Amino acid sequence: MPDCVFCKIVAGEIPSTRVYEDEELFAFEDVQPQAPVHVLIVPRKHIPTLNDVTEGDAPMIGRMMRAGARIAQAKGTAAAGYRTLFNVNAGGGQTVFHLHLHVLGGRTLRPGLG
Ligand code: AMP
Ligand code: ZN
Protein backbone atom coordinates (compact mmCIF):
# COMPACT_ATOMS: atom_id res chain seq x y z
CA MET A 1 0.00 0.00 0.00
CA PRO A 2 2.16 2.86 -1.26
CA ASP A 3 0.33 5.67 0.49
CA CYS A 4 -0.30 3.97 3.82
CA VAL A 5 1.53 5.66 6.70
CA PHE A 6 1.57 2.51 8.85
CA CYS A 7 2.88 0.34 5.98
CA LYS A 8 5.68 2.91 5.69
CA ILE A 9 6.35 2.73 9.44
CA VAL A 10 6.51 -1.09 9.27
CA ALA A 11 8.90 -0.81 6.31
CA GLY A 12 11.06 1.74 8.17
CA GLU A 13 10.37 4.42 5.57
CA ILE A 14 8.78 6.69 8.18
CA PRO A 15 10.49 6.86 11.58
CA SER A 16 8.74 5.55 14.67
CA THR A 17 9.63 4.63 18.21
CA ARG A 18 9.39 0.86 18.11
CA VAL A 19 8.02 -0.92 21.15
CA TYR A 20 7.74 -4.50 19.91
CA GLU A 21 7.97 -6.51 16.71
CA ASP A 22 7.69 -10.07 15.53
CA GLU A 23 7.08 -11.87 12.22
CA GLU A 24 3.56 -10.52 11.82
CA LEU A 25 3.15 -7.59 14.23
CA PHE A 26 4.82 -4.22 14.76
CA ALA A 27 4.16 -1.91 17.73
CA PHE A 28 5.22 1.71 18.15
CA GLU A 29 4.52 4.82 20.22
CA ASP A 30 1.59 6.96 19.08
CA VAL A 31 2.95 10.30 17.86
CA GLN A 32 0.07 12.19 19.56
CA PRO A 33 -0.32 10.25 22.79
CA GLN A 34 -3.67 10.50 24.56
CA ALA A 35 -2.22 9.02 27.75
CA PRO A 36 1.25 8.43 29.25
CA VAL A 37 1.13 4.97 27.68
CA HIS A 38 -0.21 5.05 24.11
CA VAL A 39 1.08 2.33 21.84
CA LEU A 40 -0.27 1.20 18.47
CA ILE A 41 0.00 -2.45 17.44
CA VAL A 42 -0.37 -3.14 13.72
CA PRO A 43 -0.15 -6.21 11.51
CA ARG A 44 2.77 -6.02 9.07
CA LYS A 45 0.32 -6.86 6.29
CA HIS A 46 -2.05 -4.13 5.16
CA ILE A 47 -5.59 -4.68 6.43
CA PRO A 48 -7.68 -1.46 6.22
CA THR A 49 -10.16 -1.95 9.06
CA LEU A 50 -11.55 -4.54 11.48
CA ASN A 51 -14.30 -5.06 8.90
CA ASP A 52 -11.70 -6.53 6.55
CA VAL A 53 -10.40 -9.11 9.04
CA THR A 54 -11.04 -12.65 7.85
CA GLU A 55 -11.46 -15.87 9.79
CA GLY A 56 -7.90 -16.68 8.77
CA ASP A 57 -6.70 -13.48 10.45
CA ALA A 58 -8.36 -14.42 13.76
CA PRO A 59 -5.24 -15.97 15.36
CA MET A 60 -3.29 -12.82 14.48
CA ILE A 61 -5.95 -10.66 16.16
CA GLY A 62 -5.57 -12.83 19.25
CA ARG A 63 -1.83 -12.28 19.17
CA MET A 64 -2.40 -8.51 18.85
CA MET A 65 -4.43 -8.59 22.07
CA ARG A 66 -1.78 -10.69 23.82
CA ALA A 67 0.91 -8.27 22.64
CA GLY A 68 -1.18 -5.42 24.08
CA ALA A 69 -1.29 -7.10 27.46
CA ARG A 70 2.44 -7.77 27.41
CA ILE A 71 3.19 -4.18 26.42
CA ALA A 72 0.93 -2.92 29.23
CA GLN A 73 2.85 -5.16 31.61
CA ALA A 74 6.20 -3.93 30.32
CA LYS A 75 5.06 -0.31 30.61
CA GLY A 76 3.93 -0.90 34.21
CA THR A 77 0.24 -0.18 33.69
CA ALA A 78 -1.14 -3.73 33.62
CA ALA A 79 -2.19 -3.95 37.25
CA ALA A 80 -3.57 -0.41 37.57
CA GLY A 81 -5.42 -0.75 34.30
CA TYR A 82 -5.45 0.24 30.67
CA ARG A 83 -7.66 0.22 27.59
CA THR A 84 -7.35 -1.51 24.23
CA LEU A 85 -9.46 -0.48 21.28
CA PHE A 86 -9.93 -0.57 17.55
CA ASN A 87 -11.56 2.47 15.96
CA VAL A 88 -13.47 1.34 12.88
CA ASN A 89 -14.19 3.63 9.93
CA ALA A 90 -14.82 7.38 10.09
CA GLY A 91 -17.86 7.16 12.35
CA GLY A 92 -15.81 5.09 14.79
CA GLY A 93 -13.02 7.65 14.84
CA GLN A 94 -10.60 5.83 12.53
CA THR A 95 -8.24 8.18 10.73
CA VAL A 96 -5.50 5.79 9.55
CA PHE A 97 -6.84 2.96 7.42
CA HIS A 98 -4.36 0.27 8.39
CA LEU A 99 -5.69 -1.87 11.22
CA HIS A 100 -4.25 -0.83 14.58
CA LEU A 101 -4.92 -1.69 18.20
CA HIS A 102 -4.59 1.24 20.61
CA VAL A 103 -3.14 0.46 24.04
CA LEU A 104 -3.81 3.35 26.43
CA GLY A 105 -2.77 3.55 30.06
CA GLY A 106 -0.56 5.17 32.64
CA ARG A 107 -3.38 7.34 33.94
CA THR A 108 -6.91 6.81 35.19
CA LEU A 109 -9.16 6.58 32.15
CA ARG A 110 -12.72 7.81 32.27
CA PRO A 111 -15.24 5.03 32.77
CA GLY A 112 -17.20 4.24 29.66
CA LEU A 113 -16.53 5.52 26.17
CA GLY A 114 -16.99 9.04 24.87
P1 AMP B 1 -7.19 6.19 14.65
O2 AMP B 1 -7.85 7.53 14.88
O3 AMP B 1 -7.78 5.08 15.47
O4 AMP B 1 -7.11 5.85 13.17
O5 AMP B 1 -5.73 6.33 15.21
C6 AMP B 1 -4.66 6.75 14.42
C7 AMP B 1 -3.55 7.07 15.38
O8 AMP B 1 -2.34 7.08 14.65
C9 AMP B 1 -3.67 8.43 16.06
O10 AMP B 1 -3.70 8.24 17.48
C11 AMP B 1 -2.44 9.19 15.58
O12 AMP B 1 -1.89 9.99 16.58
C13 AMP B 1 -1.51 8.05 15.21
N14 AMP B 1 -0.52 8.37 14.19
C15 AMP B 1 -0.73 8.94 12.98
N16 AMP B 1 0.42 9.05 12.31
C17 AMP B 1 1.38 8.52 13.11
C18 AMP B 1 2.79 8.34 12.98
N19 AMP B 1 3.47 8.73 11.89
N20 AMP B 1 3.46 7.77 14.01
C21 AMP B 1 2.81 7.36 15.12
N22 AMP B 1 1.48 7.49 15.29
C23 AMP B 1 0.77 8.07 14.30
ZN1 ZN C 1 -0.94 -0.22 5.41
CA 75 to chain centre: 15
57 within a domain of the structure (yes/no)? yes
Host domain of residue 11: 5-105
**Rg of the chain in Å (alpha carbons):** 14
80 within a domain of the structure (yes/no)? yes
42 within a domain of the structure (yes/no)? yes
pLDDT tens digit sequence for 12-38: 999 999 999 999 999 999 999 999 999
Whole-number Å distance, alpha carbon 29 to ligand 2 midpoint, is: 17
70 within a domain of the structure (yes/no)? yes
Whose atoms come closest to the Cα of 9: which ligand?
1
pLDDT tens digit sequence for 78-90: 999 999 999 999 9
Catalytic residue list: 100
- Residue 61 sits in a domain whose CATH number is 3.30.428.10
Give the atom of ligand 1 at the shortest distance from the alpha carbon of 93.
2
Of 40, 103, 113, the residue with max ligand 1 atoms within 8 A of its CB, to mutate for a pocket test, comes to 40
Structurally, how many domains does the chain consist of? 1
pTM (global) more than 0.85? yes
Q: How far apart are CA 114 and CA 110, in angstroms?
A: 9
